Chains A and B, each alone.
Chain A
Amino acid sequence: MSIATVQTRRDWLLSDRPASRMQARLGRAYVAWRRFSANRLAFLGLLIIIALLVVAAFADVLAPYSPTVGDLKNARLLAPSSAHWFGTDDLGRDIYSRILFGSRWTLYVVTLVAIIAAPIGLVVGTVAGYAGGWTDAILMRITDIFLAFPKLILALAFVAALGPGIENAVLAIAITSWPPYARIARAETMTVRNSDYIKAVQLMGASPFRIVLRHIMPLCISSLIIRVTLDMAGIILTAAGLGFLGLGAQPPLPEWGTMIASGRRFVLDQWWVAGAPGFAILIVSLGFNLLGDGLRDALDPRSGDQ
């Protein structure tokens, strides 16, 4: 009985003749999901990211100690034990708790950067690609200027100008990471710009604004999502790098990069102080990379639609 219902639900999703807008959309999502979940590593990546979300949401419940207030008298630089799973740092704070709370900052950085940088890149790229001519030349030269500097160096310059702090770090990373997205969106736009289906919309009298927004952008979004996901690891590392250099999150904020920076003084004798946040960065970066790879297989418009 239950097998039968599962079977019919699948058939409904995979139907060649969807009866409603929603069924068509769900069917399409289901096909992408099947392709995605067939990839085990991608699935692992998704699990890591889900775990990150859960940890960030319930950090106050999961963390056994305060992330900012430590026991300076009794608990300085303790090795990992059952009381302090990842040990304690030089101010006697529990590293495990700090890492749990740090996940919030990591998510904060990653989400904000994605929300700021991806739309800028998408708009600049599609407009440049569709308009062509002078618009294209000007927008792409600006993009080139941003691309000419190494990301971290440019971010450093921005933070130095804006002043240290996690908000400014986010802003600096966002400003430096949109140019590749603009390039991708432009390339994608150029390939579809002259296709018959765009001409058909032009022949309906659609404005260029409408064509870019409703017909070209949806085609660019999946490759952009893939690229942003793959870049997440880089964003985390840049944020951590800025934190490490003292230009990102400021102590006592439990940001992973800042934690490594403060732990580097004891890295030879008390390796866990820097090692634990480093490991956390590694795991989350890996998760985003695996997820991005899986999304590439599942969403790639070029891989056919079957």
Chain B
Amino acid sequence: MTPAISIDGLAVVFDRFRALKGVSLEVQSGDSFGLVGESGSGKSTLLKAIAGLVPAASGTITVNGKTLGARRDKAFYREVQMVFQDPYGSLHPRQTVDRLLQEPLAIHGFADGEQRIQRALDEVGLGNGFRFRYAHQLSGGQRQRVAIARALILEPSILLLDEPTSALDASVQAEVLNLLEEVRRRRKLTFLMVSHDLAIITHMCERLMVMQSGEAVENLTASQLIGHRVTMDYTRNLLRASEGFVRT
């Protein structure tokens, strides 16, 4: 079986700054894979490189058996979609939810737009009452649901999630995480999820990679992490930090 995402020696350079220094990973189809690290670790850059939002300096990215070139074609975007971190910045301020969801359908020439929009809104638990609202009439959690609906409407097989809940309140975060798990189960999606929060990654993902300053630190399964069976000091530090403050 071909892996959903396979990355080999990927490097990304911004004006001499090496954001990614040759990272390799493999995500099996239907898996949920987590990328953990602190700011500057290159975890978001990795997602953006897959999506084609930043150019790769070297290395190869293969999605569903197809090695990607510098340009992504329309077929690629039918396979891979992304949910961004900031729900306040990822929705166009002058478009209604309806218009936002129609755009991908128009670009890819779907005829049954009406039904698809209805279904997408129902799937993310918003229903028709939200269809003609503007972004400013929605709460943070609702915005993120719209962003998920927009990503799902093209029926991709791979979802890239860039800290999808870090800007949300804890209770809303739980709702959005549940929603993501549900759509993944129903649609048999492959997730590649970035987070700085180990608890979220172990909750959402079966396997994960710890990253630090543009390099992979180690690859783990969620159960290894839960059982503290880690080999690198950096990962151990992250684990300890995630347990809260300890007075010395």
Interface readout for A266-306 with B: 1 if CB under 8 Å, 0 if not? 00000000000000000000000000000000000100111
Given contacts A203-B82, A210-B107, A301-B93, contact A21 B132 (CB under 8 A): yes
Task: Report A186-215 residues with CB < 8 Å from chain B CB.
Answer: 195-197, 199-206, 210, 214-215
User: Does B89 count as interface, using CB distance less than 8 angstroms?
Assistant: yes
When chains A and B are docked, how far (Å) is the Cα of A195 from the Cα of B53? Answer: 12
Contact call B86/A196, Cβ cutoff below 8 A: yes
A11-19, A92-100, A122-130: which lies at the B interface?
Answer: A11-19
Q: Which residues of B contact A197 (CB under 8 A)?
A: 89-93
User: Does A133 count as interface, using CB distance less than 8 angstroms?
Assistant: no
User: Does B130 count as interface, using CB distance less than 8 angstroms?
Assistant: yes
When chains A and B are docked, how far (Å) is the Cα of A162 from the Cα of B67? Answer: 58
Q: Which residues of A contact B133 (CB under 8 A)?
A: 16-18, 24
Given contacts A18-B132, A21-B98, contact A200 B82 (CB under 8 A): yes
User: Does A75 count as interface, using CB distance less than 8 angstroms?
Assistant: no
Q: Which residues of B contact A16 (CB under 8 A)?
A: 133, 137
Contact call A196/B84, Cβ cutoff below 8 A: yes
User: Does B28 count as interface, using CB distance less than 8 angstroms?
Assistant: no
How big is the A interface, by class? Answer: 20 to 34
Contact call A205/B107, Cβ cutoff below 8 A: yes
Given contacts A17-B130, A203-B82, A206-B103, contact A24 B147 (CB under 8 A): no
Contact call A23/B74, Cβ cutoff below 8 A: no
The interface centre, meaning the residue of B76, B93, B132 with most chain A CB atoms within 10 A of its CB, is B132
Contact call A200/B51, Cβ cutoff below 8 A: no
Q: Which residues of B contact A205 (CB under 8 A)?
A: 72-74, 76-78, 107-108
When chains A and B are docked, how far (Å) is the Cα of A301 from the Cα of B77? Answer: 30
When chains A and B are docked, how far (Å) is the Cα of A306 from the Cα of B135? Answer: 11
When chains A and B are docked, how far (Å) is the Cα of A217 from the Cα of B74? Answer: 23
How many chain-B residues does the 8 Å CB contact rule pick out?
Answer: 36
When chains A and B are docked, how far (Å) is the Cα of A20 from the Cα of B136? Answer: 17
**B110 smallest CB distance to A (angstroms):** 12
Q: Which residues of B contact A196 (CB under 8 A)?
A: 84-86, 89-90
User: Whose C-beta in chain A lies nearest to the C-beta of B53?
Assistant: A199
Interface readout for B54-84 with A: 1 if CB under 8 Å, 0 if not? 0000000000000000001110111001101
User: Whose C-beta in chain B lies nearest to the C-beta of A204?
Assistant: B104
Contact call B77/A203, Cβ cutoff below 8 A: yes
Interface readout for A1-42 with B: 1 if CB under 8 Å, 0 if not? 000000000000000111111011000100000000000000
Q: Which residues of B contact A204 (CB under 8 A)?
A: 77, 103-104, 107-108, 154
Task: Report A134-185 residues with CB < 8 Å from chain B CB.
Answer: none
When chains A and B are docked, how far (Å) is the Cα of A284 from the Cα of B92? Answer: 37
Q: Which residues of A contact B227 (CB under 8 A)?
A: none
Q: Which residues of B contact A18 (CB under 8 A)?
A: 96, 132-133
User: Does B234 count as interface, using CB distance less than 8 angstroms?
Assistant: no
Q: Which residues of A contact B76 (CB under 8 A)?
A: 205
Given contacts A18-B133, A21-B132, A24-B132, contact A203 B103 (CB under 8 A): no
Q: Which residues of A contact B91 (CB under 8 A)?
A: 197
When chains A and B are docked, how far (Å) is the Cα of A305 from the Cα of B92? Answer: 13
The interface centre, meaning the residue of A204, A214, A219 with most chain B CB atoms within 10 A of its CB, is A204
Name the one of A195, A206, A219, A306 contacting B107, with C-beta atoms under 8 angstroms: A206
Q: Which residues of B contact A21 (CB under 8 A)?
A: 96, 98, 132
Contact call B92/A215, Cβ cutoff below 8 A: yes
**23 pairs of residues in contact across A and B, judged by CB atoms under 8 Å:** A16-B133, A18-B132, A19-B132, A21-B98, A21-B132, A23-B132, A28-B134, A195-B89, A196-B84, A196-B85, A196-B89, A197-B89, A197-B90, A199-B84, A200-B84, A200-B147, A200-B150, A201-B103, A204-B108, A205-B73, A205-B107, A205-B108, A219-B93
Binding site for B on A (CB under 8 A): 16-21, 23-24, 28, 195-197, 199-206, 210, 214-215, 218-219, 301, 304-306
Give 20 new A-B contacts, CB below 8 A, not counting A18-B133, A21-B132, A196-B90. A17-B130, A19-B132, A20-B132, A23-B132, A24-B132, A196-B89, A197-B89, A197-B92, A199-B84, A200-B82, A200-B147, A201-B103, A202-B53, A203-B51, A203-B52, A205-B74, A205-B107, A214-B103, A219-B93, A305-B136
